[in-house]
Amino acid sequence: MKREIITIDKRGNVHIPSTPVWMSACEIADLLGAFSGKVNAQIKVIFREGLLMETEAMRTIQSERGFVDLYSSELITMLSFRIATPQAKNLRRWIIGRLTEKNSSTSPMIVCYTLGKRYN
C-alpha cells in the first residue's frame, strides 16, 4: 500500500501530499507533538462515540516489524481538534485557512430573478 504522511516543518508550514494519507498513531503523535498514549486514547473515543467508523478510518498493514494500524486523514483532522498542543493548533489553523480561503480562479455566477415578467 502506497501511503504518505502529513508533515509540519520548523517554520510551521504544513505539507499534505497529493497521494493518500495514512499514518500510524506514533506518526500522528509526532505530527501533533503529543504522546502516543494520548493519541490512542482519543482515537478510541472517536470510534466509541461513532464520529467515524473503524472500517472507514483505519487500515491494518503488515510491516517488517509486524502489524501496524494506520489512520486516515479524516481521523487525523479530527484529532487535531481534540488535542491541545502548538502543533495541533498549527494544523487546525491550516485546515481552517484552506476551508475559508477564497478561490479567485472561478468567476462569480450572477442569477437574475424577475417576478411576473416573461422574456422571449
| Residue 102 in this model has a pLDDT that exceeds 90 | no
Tell me which DSSP letter residue 42 carries.
H
Confidence band (pLDDT; 50, 70, 90) for 107?
low
Amino acid sitting at position 28: I
Distance (Å, rounded) from C-alpha 70 to C-alpha 91? Answer: 19
Neighbours of 4 (CB within 10 A): 15
Please give the average per-residue pLDDT across 70-88, as a whole number: 94
**In this structure, are residues 40 and 25 in contact, taking their beta carbons and an 8 Å threshold?**
yes
More confident residue, 111 or 97: 97
Tell me which DSSP letter residue 118 carries.
-
Q: Which fold has domain 7-95?
A: Arc Repressor Mutant, subunit A (1.10.10)
Give pLDDT, residue 109: 60
| Residue 33 in this model has a pLDDT that exceeds 70 | yes
Distance (Å, rounded) from C-alpha 119 to C-alpha 18? Answer: 48
* Verdict on whether the full-model pTM lies above 0.85: no
Give residue limits of the domains in the chain: 7-95
Entry field: residues in the chain: 120
